[in-house]
Structure 1
Amino acid sequence: MKNLIKIIFNKQEKDEKKEIPKYEEPADFEKAITAAGFGKFNVFLIFVSIPMTWMSQFETSTMSYVFPAAQCDLSLSLGNKGMLNAITYAGAICSGFTWGILMDNMGRRKLMIIGFLLDGIFTMLSSFSQSFTFLMIMKFLGGFIMNGPFAGMTAYLSEIHSQKFRSRVPLLLGFWNSLAAIYLPLLASFIMPLDFKLVIAESLVFYPWSLYLILNSLPAIFGGLIFLLLPESPKYLMTAGRNDEALKVFQRIYSINTGNPVETYPIKTLVEEKVTQVSSSFSFREGLDQIRPLFRAPYLKNLVLVCFLQVFLIMGQNTLRLWTPQLFQSINDYKVYNNGSSSNLCEMLKYIQPPKNSSECVVNTNNMEVYYNSMIVSGTTACFYILAGTLIGVLGQNRFLVLVSFFAGSFASAIYFSSNGEMATFLIALYSGLSSLGTNGSFIVVVNLFPTTLRTMAVSLGMMFSRTASMSGNIVFPYLLQMGCAPPFLFSACALFGGCIMAMFLPKRNENFI
């Protein structure tokens, strides 16, 4: 795994130690973080970011594997499933603006500790759902909390790396996401086939899918505890005028990376950056005043472009992605009820909901093929991320986004023509991998186009709009399925093609925004 990090970052740690210059004058952030090096601290941070990244993936994706098992216990219709997929995004939309202001004005660390722990608690509470309504409330609250820690972590990890590695951080996060997407069906393959029904109280029953949700709450709780050990973002501290604290963070990172005493850190003073007014009496109105430049020249044009880019790319990915296990479930059900025979995708998708003339709700627990296919899709995505660091270096971030979104849209539309389950799995894997690269690549754009004081707000706004689109897409998706076989896939394809067009108009990154 350490070699994989070196491949993505295209860097040998020992080389970094030889390139630390001496600075007599006060250093800016980029010089200070470069002097701190890339080493053990960065590798530790990258590894502990796994559970934090998984939190976001789990919050949006676990229900895809819960639906087949819980549809009888909670009386879930196809429309209910669409609403449960969408409600998480509704919660994220409601909190996006607030989280962005708080993160950019009160720092990353404290709020991420609170956010991760709360998300784990709400996920754990959702495991005790006995009705569709209670589950909806818990998923909404989980989505409400999720937006902040994810946006803050994206900014934090970017700000803890030098410019040489910064653009590759979102790609590594995407790789961790793909591992989470492998873990979810793998865990489901062990938990969901279990046959138990634990009656805790007259109106409280614990099912296998309840255990599945509890286990998926642990990474978020672990992430919150881990941040107790990590420092505040030094870039945020410098922006807030807290240079003494920032220098101590740089020294700590340097010492861990090199093994040298903190006193040998080559930088003794930091430049005074424009101070952001941050205090314990921080008001919401002050936050609004601070982010007002985001809605004026020269940032407004880039903000609009980034928001549309993420709307198209994330909607194109998340709408179909969250329904992929249900598509595989339908393919599997067709084979189970037709003596193992396969057919074209459109014929098999007729099994995506129980027959209307059936009075008994039956759950097919023979779903190993569903989990196996889901792991193939996620494994393909992970392989794509291994190559992404090299591709983005050769093509550049803008051209990279144009190409991956175009081919992702092409494969999404091609799924409709699948003649059997194997071909459908192959095309879904290619679509999923490329669209995931596009989504995570779009976060690089935000980091490169906006300064620190506006960065988390820009990320949050982009995510707020894109999650509005994802929510709408998941609500509409069941109705698209009822309209016919082609509309769901063409819908995702058109969204990705829209992202391709937006990527063509992206400006070059601003070297001053670090």
Structure 2
Amino acid sequence: MPAKTKIHSFSKLEAVVIHDAEPADFERAISASGYGRFNVALYILSAAAGWPTVFETTAMSYVFPAAECHLRLTLDHKGWLNAITYAGMISSAFIWGYLCDALGRKKLLIIGLLLDGLFFLMAATSQNFQLLMISKFLGGFIINGPFAALTAYLSEFHCARDRGRVQMILGTIFSMGNLILPVLAVFILPLKINLQIGELVFHSWNVYLMVMALPALASGAAFMFLPESPKFLMAIRDNENALKVFRRVYSINTGLPEEEYPIRYLLNETEKNFEFEDVRVVRSKKQALKEGMSNFKPMFSTPYFSKIMLVFLIQFMIMMSLNTLRLWLPQIYKAMYDHQFENDTDASLCEMLEIFQPNNETLNFTNCQVSPDNIQVYTNSMIVAATSIVGYIMAGTLINSIGKKTLLSILGLVSGSVAMTMYFSRNIVSTIALSAMFVTFGSIGINVILAVVVDIIPTSLRAMTVSLTMMFGRLGAALGNMIFPFLLESGCAPPFFSVGSVMLGCAFLAHYLPDTDMKALR
């Protein structure tokens, strides 16, 4: 029972926040903890923790031009290497989703990030296509966990009013990762490195992949010093430790002692449609598996089933479209500049992409040489990534004013139209501009969908649903990357009109999403 209200020497800010000692729910407690230095520090750490997800899925697209001779990579090999990371992510979606909701966000972030760093080092030492495939699959298998945990963790340190913007912050973080990749590529990949250590031979692309491991290893170690999500602690009925976290966040944000945190007691929150099992109880493996399977029941029943299926479908289509074309952009840019160099003239995009036709693609690796002059390719990728960052900043200011449904419809319509317009591109400059717009609008759409998930799904199911949503999206990305080489070989129109049509379909389906804007989460 709450104690009687006592007279304290509250600051003016605290006096506005609380007038009695009644138990507080999560929204009231997190609002009272304030917004300040802790949140900023969390954003900085989240950047380092979010980049490995981008690195796992995107780094190989920059490695291809530098490693294709050393590893004897054909067009099909490149498609498989782009897809295999997503295959690893798909295979682990159920495992990580359950563990994140059962064991907590913090543990999964630490374990997952450290393991991902190790698998990046494994990829960096690869000497053949087969070992690189295995290491990229394992990296994808692991990184699915930290991604779902980070999404839930960051959201659960913010009140309902700020959670839509949190997804835009995550999007900005990922866009920064996409910017870092070409920046590092400019400095590392052109280096003429041929270092032999025993049976291992290291080239510039090996060093590039080694550098990719550093953010995962550093952020995994850093999360050891951060608290568990207070929302998760309340979901497992550990209000005592949840209150300690709120007090600590309050003290860091305000600079005041923890004792002056205005909330004295927390409500025992339970989900209306699902009761989360107390994971602190020691269970047998059979009981743990049974509880894990029971987590799926509410997702496939009223009122969640139809909403979740729609979210899964939209995310599948967005990521199939976006992450197919996005990962092939460095190859497309390289083909453009190779054509310009060889012919000393500009041309239409379709003319420049004729190199991908079966009769023009050389499979002779005997005299294969790596071209060090790919800086312009990486510079174009920087432009695309920088444009995405600006787009996320603008979307963060618009998401609450125009609503998630409307924003997602606009994003799908514009990105789909832009993808189709690339077919008519007459020069390199217009191709870069159109591809930057496509990537920007498409990648924002992924995070808008995740913001919808955070709104419509209760805490105990949230990380699982985020993980499954991304699983369906990654399934689309894997299929798209396996199909794309065949589309390139079949002609110029199929790649761009296929990608654009899928995005337009997303714009249509967005109209059927529920209205969740400014909704207070349970």
What TM-score do you get using the length of structure 2 for normalisation? 0.93
**2:316 aligned partner:** 311
**1:466 aligned partner:** 473
**2:178 aligned partner:** 181
Residue 287 in 1 paired to residue 297 in 2?
no
Please tell me whether the aligned partners of residues 239 and 276 of structure 1 are also in contact (alpha carbons under 8 angstroms).
no
Residue 48 in 1 paired to residue 68 in 2?
no
Q: What residue identity is the alignment partner of 1:278?
A: V
Please tell me whether the aligned partners of residues 58 and 327 of structure 2 are also in contact (alpha carbons under 8 angstroms).
yes
Does the residue aligned with 1:168 lie in a helix, a strand or coil?
helix
Name the CA shift for 1:352/1:363 in 2 (closer, same or farther; >3 Å): farther
Please tell me whether the aligned partners of residues 17 and 37 of structure 1 are also in contact (alpha carbons under 8 angstroms).
no
Please tell me whether the aligned partners of residues 277 and 291 of structure 2 are also in contact (alpha carbons under 8 angstroms).
no
**1:405 aligned partner:** 412
**1:68 aligned partner:** 65
Q: What residue identity is the alignment partner of 1:446?
A: V
Does the residue aligned with 1:205 lie in a helix, a strand or coil?
strand
Please tell me whether the aligned partners of residues 30 and 163 of structure 1 are also in contact (alpha carbons under 8 angstroms).
yes
Structural mapping, 1:162-201, within 5 Å:
162-201=159-198
Q: What residue identity is the alignment partner of 1:499?
A: C
Deviation at 1:229, TM superposition (A): 1.2
**2:220 aligned partner:** 224
Instruction: After superposition, give the CA deviation of every residue in 1:259-305 in whole Å (9 maximum; x if it has no partner).
Output: 11111111111011225321343612211113311111111111101
**1:276 aligned partner:** 277
Please tell me whether the aligned partners of residues 329 and 352 of structure 1 are also in contact (alpha carbons under 8 angstroms).
no
**2:238 aligned partner:** 242
Worse-matched range after superposition: 76-85 or 456-465: 456-465
**2:126 aligned partner:** 129
Instruction: After superposition, give the CA deviation of every residue in 1:154-193 in whole Å (9 maximum; x if it has no partner).
Output: 0110011011111111101111111111111111011111
Equivalent-residue separation in structure 1 for 2:193 and 2:335 (angstroms): 24
Instruction: After superposition, give the CA deviation of every residue in 1:19-63 in whole Å (9 maximum; x if it has no partner).
Output: 533442110000000000111101110111111111100000000
Equivalent-residue separation in structure 2 for 1:512 and 1:383 (angstroms): 28
Please tell me whether the aligned partners of residues 16 and 38 of structure 1 are also in contact (alpha carbons under 8 angstroms).
no
Count, aligned residues: 499
**1:5 aligned partner:** none
Instruction: After superposition, give the CA deviation of every residue in 1:424-475 in whole Å (9 maximum; x if it has no partner).
Output: 0010011111111111111101000100011111111111111111100000
Please tell me whether the aligned partners of residues 125 and 200 of structure 2 are also in contact (alpha carbons under 8 angstroms).
yes
Equivalent-residue separation in structure 2 for 1:22 and 1:289 (angstroms): 41
Equivalent-residue separation in structure 2 for 1:453 and 1:116 (angstroms): 22
Structural mapping, 1:108-507, within 5 Å:
108-201=105-198, 203-274=199-270, 275-279=276-280, 280-281=282-283, 283-339=288-344, 341-352=345-356, 355-356=361-362, 360-507=367-514
Equivalent-residue separation in structure 1 for 2:400 and 2:66 (angstroms): 44
Equivalent-residue separation in structure 2 for 1:452 and 1:232 (angstroms): 14
**1:7 aligned partner:** none
Equivalent-residue separation in structure 1 for 2:464 and 2:400 (angstroms): 27
Equivalent-residue separation in structure 2 for 1:364 and 1:350 (angstroms): 19
Equivalent-residue separation in structure 2 for 1:306 and 1:17 (angstroms): 40
Equivalent-residue separation in structure 1 for 2:396 and 2:363 (angstroms): 52
Deviation at 1:91, TM superposition (A): 0.3
Does the residue aligned with 2:196 lie in a helix, a strand or coil?
strand
Deviation at 1:417, TM superposition (A): 0.8
Equivalent-residue separation in structure 1 for 2:19 and 2:249 (angstroms): 17
**1:513 aligned partner:** 521
Q: What residue identity is the alignment partner of 1:161?
A: H
Q: What residue identity is the alignment partner of 2:330?
A: P
Equivalent-residue separation in structure 1 for 2:16 and 2:185 (angstroms): 47
Structure 2 unpaired stretches of 5+: 1-10, 271-275
